[in-house]
Structure 1
Amino acid sequence: MRQPSSRNSATAYLVWSVGLAVYFLAVFHRSSLAVAGLAAAERFDITAAQLSTFTMLQLVVYAGMQIPVGLLIDRFGARAVMITGTAIMALAQAGFALAESYPTALVARVFVGLGDAMTFTAVLRQVNEWFTPRRIPVVTQLTGVVGQTGALVAALPMTWALSHLGWTRAYGVAAVLGVVMTVVAAVVLHDTPEVRSLRGPRLSWSLVRDGITRSWAEPGTRTGFWVHFTTQFSGTALSMLWGYPFLVRAEHLSETTAGVLLTVMVLATISAGPVVGSVVARHPWYRSTIAMGVATAIALSWTVVLAWPGDAPLWMLVVLVVMAGLGGPASMIGFDLGRSSNPSERLSTATGIINQGGFLASLLLVVAIGLVLDWRTPGASTAYTPEAFRWAMSCQYVLWALGITMIWRNRRRARALLLEQDPDAKRHMTGLG
């Protein structure tokens, strides 16, 4: 039996710190191409459309691998999967550093996405094994927000490295960092306080199907999926692709001001994470309510900006990016709903299912915005007008309406099941008992 003293201990924080470093490095690898677009276009002699394929393909691989990765973690343990993912990313970055052709580089980025997909769910599994239930929401939020700063850290060092070291050496250094982290993870990480490498039952098609079916059958898993779906996509679409063009073309901000606003959004995400985690830990009954409240606030902010006659004032755009930034911490609530609804043997499978939600919604929105912009700006693929952006950004309302409706439906079932199992659950989970 697990000793209570093993949880929340110094060793727990050491294991979590290494897992967090692995996730941080994964985000760094994921984002390392963001500042290398012009260099990549020149090196591989590719068009802008081909260049965008790098990012889109990574996201598709990441989202598509979430359920398989969850199954692998349930079978082989978080430690083995995390070490494997880190090693894959290191080899992929080495391949990217040496690539001379577009197809070779594309294959390398696919494997970066594959390795990246194997980190976050594994870190969350270790958080659930090493910390007490009351501490888990806060540590989960910290994992998400600290890990995402890898995207910020990637910008300056990679810009410097590409200009001073050149393509091959810059990405070669990134690959070496991956090798070092693989070794550190192999030495420090343990799956649980009692077991270095945890193993679950052997995988078979029937077992896989049963695990996925049972995880999705839990109303808490479905609620978590739709929470992640509903809260993440607006901020992700802004930060990944469309925020900068919207602010510059639709709101007529300077390039510098647009960049500052996107940085404010990231800082809002980082600042809000621990606060959201603390509230969720104290009042878990209201987790879905908090998520729907954040989604509604984001939607209202967009409504004011899109309905504003002419350019929205700067203060309103600050409100918009701050609200969009809150979507990141709110999406993490989905994982806590999955944690409390599934047994440990299929927890990672449920986490993988939930983690697909936000990325699926983000991909749908990114593609929809591009299609609508092209539709509303015929014959001028880059001269997007404010009106075209208003049409395009309005696609978000379809996703919010779907997501909030599904959260409401599934949480009713989840709460009814919980009260059936424990009639006093509401009193205990509202901080009143």
Structure 2
Amino acid sequence: MASTAQAATGGENDCKKHPGARILHGPHKTIGGVEAWMVWGLCTVFVVWLFSIQTGYAVVSPEIQKTASLTVAQIGLAGSIYTWAFALCQFFSGALLDRFGSRPLLAIAVAFVTAGAFLYAQTDSMATLIAAQIVLAIGSSFGFVGAGYIGGQWFPAARYGLMFGLVQSLASLGSAFGQPAISWQLQHVTWQQLLNGFGAGGVVLIVLFVLLVRNPSTGPAQLAQTTARPSRPPLVSSILRDLGTCFRNRNVVLSAALAGVSFGSMLAMGVLWGPRIMEARGAGTSLAAVLTAMSWLGLAVGAPLFNLLSDHWNNRRIPAVVGVLLQAAAVSLLIYLPKETNSVSVVTMFCVGLFAGAHMLGFTVAGESVPGRILPDSPPLGDYGGALLMMPILLVLGALAGFFIKDTAKARVDA
């Protein structure tokens, strides 16, 4: 007790001696107040910005393919490398935020994405593209998780799911409008200039994060915990131990399988293969971008919707399973519908994103399951049927895993 009081007193004295310390490092004023919304809003802007870069890959990848003399398989491989690097970094990003807080980690994450955008703009070979994807993945792994972390730190626990859903919804809306906007901009500027513009926006975000984002401090207990930090176990060993604990929990593994294939398939369609399928149906590049944007518009609706339905029905498992099964049906229709049904594709793409909102009930990042290497350089529509067959299969398997999840909704309500 004495050491706790001393830590608290010492912290207060430091703020009195150095008023600037309170501005940059002092405690937040009100949970869910104006300051909380400001920090959360800035982190959400970060997510929207990086999502725009990610989904912009769907629009600029044909241009990159031409400039760097790459094949469709190489473009698909680069996208897969990004996703696997993202998934690997995700193991550490959450743990780092838990240990060190949002300051300065989120500013560093923005710097990585900014560097990746500038490197992206210099792509003239497969090696440069892969390097850009890895740098982008390192920074992006802190984006969605960071916004969720901020929501949990600065808002009441009961609103955590809703705040997380809002982040996904806003990011999806940004992607829905961003893809057509990027396609339009490419008619006036080069893809290199466009990506350099994203990088310039990142520089502004870095400054704002350094000035405004800090770790919330709730009082003496947290200060005492800070003084005890040297006694914590090494980071890597603690992460491995925590992962072991997670993998021993059946619900964690099954929900990860369900949510992973759902969000992974959404990324595959919304970031890379959606526009290619639309172009194979005869749509122009601009129209293909607009049609693909419908999937992100659907996700913007589905992300908070499935949370609300789950709360309304007091059930987590059934909405998640039904959503993923419907997503599998929508993806299958998109791949296997006849070429002459472009008008139906608009609704189908929207449904792909809408039902992908089910992944918010068990969010986890999953690798992209896209076998780009079996496609020819200029694949007709029929070739996508065999190449992307794995996607609806994985969605059905993910939904089957969901049937074995022990529902936790009633336990949460009673708590």
TM-score, normalised to structure 2, is: 0.77
C-alpha distance in 2, partners of 1:58/1:334? 22
User: Which residue of the partner structure matches residue 322 of structure 2?
Assistant: 293
Superposed CA deviations along residues 220-252 of structure 1, whole A, max 9, x for unmatched, are 422431231242244333222333343454xx4
Q: 1:13 aligns with which of 37, 40, 44?
A: 37
Counterpart in 1 of 2:171?
Answer: 147
Alignment of 1:7-406 (within 5 A): 7-37=31-61, 39-41=63-65, 43-97=67-121, 103-152=127-176, 154-155=178-179, 166=190, 169-192=193-216, 194=218, 201-249=232-280, 252=281, 254-255=283-284, 258-283=288-313, 285-301=314-330, 313=341, 316-335=344-363, 354-355=364-365, 359-360=366-367, 363-364=368-369, 366-367=370-371, 371=374, 374=375, 382-384=378-380, 386=382, 388-406=383-401
DSSP-derived class of the 1:190 partner: coil
Asked whether the 8 Å contact 1:22–1:181 carries over to 2, the reply is yes
- 2:109–2:139 CA contact under 8 A, matched in 1: yes
Check conservation: 1:137, 1:280, Cα contact below 8 A: no
SS of residue in 2 equivalent to 1:78: coil
* Residue aligning to 1:408: 403
Q: Are the structure 2 counterparts of residues 277 and 61 from structure 1 closer, same or farther at C-alpha, using a change threshold of 3 Å?
A: same
Say if 1:389 and 1:47 are closer, same or farther in 2 by CA, change over 3 A. closer
The residue aligned with 2:414 is 428
Q: In the TM superposition, what whole-angstrom CA distance separates every residue of 1:261-317 from its partner, at most 9, and x where no partner exists?
A: 32322222212333223333445x412211101112223445667787x56756654
Tell me the C-alpha RMSD between the 2 structures: 3.7
Aligned length: 382
Q: Indicate the SS of the match to 1:266.
A: helix
CA distance in 1 between counterparts of 2:100 and 2:151 reads 17
Taking the aligned partners of 1:56 and 1:334, their CA distance within structure 2 comes to 22
Q: Where do 5+ consecutive residues of structure 1 fail to align?
A: 336-353, 375-379, 419-423
| SS of residue in 2 equivalent to 1:36 | helix
44-53 or 319-328, larger mean C-alpha shift? 44-53
- CA–CA distance in structure 2, aligned partners of residues 156 and 404 of structure 1: 32
Deviations 1:192-224, CA, capped at 9 Å, x for gaps: 353899966453443222121123333442243
For residues 18 and 108 of structure 1, the distance between their equivalents in structure 2, rounded to whole angstroms, comes to 24
CA distance in 1, matches of 2:126, 2:258: 37
Is the contact between residue 235 and residue 327 of structure 1 (CA under 8 Å) also seen in structure 2?
Answer: no
User: How far has the Cα of 1:259 moved from its partner?
Assistant: 4.5
Partner of 1:421 in structure 2? none
Of 101-110 and 126-135, the range deviating more from structure 2: 101-110
Measured in 1, the distance between the counterparts of 2:28 and 2:395 equals: 41
The alpha-carbon distance between structure 1 residues 165 and 394, as it changes in their structure 2 partners (threshold 3 A), is: closer
In 1, Cα distance between equivalents of 2:270 and 2:390: 17
The offset of 1:37, in angstroms, is 3.5
Identity percentage of aligned residues: 17
Structure 1, residues 63-116: CA drift from partner, whole Å, max 9, x if none?
221102122222222333211110112233334445666534542332122111
For the residue of structure 2 that corresponds to 1:134, the secondary structure is: helix
Unaligned runs of 5+ in 2: 1-7, 9-26
1:20: Cα distance to partner?
0.4
State the SS of the aligned residue for 2:234: coil
Distance between the aligned counterparts of 2:92 and 2:146, measured in 1?
12
TM-score normalised by L of structure 1 = 0.74
| CA deviation after TM superposition for structure 1 residue 52, in Å | 4.1
Secondary structure of the residue aligned to 1:225 is helix
- Matched residue type, 2:393: V
**Structure 1 residue 127, shift from structure 2 partner:** 0.9
Retained in 1: the 8 A contact 2:59–2:182? yes
Given residue 324 of structure 1, which amino acid in structure 2 is its aligned partner?
V
Deviation at 1:9, TM superposition (A): 2.0
Contact 2:122 2:128 in 1 (8 A): no
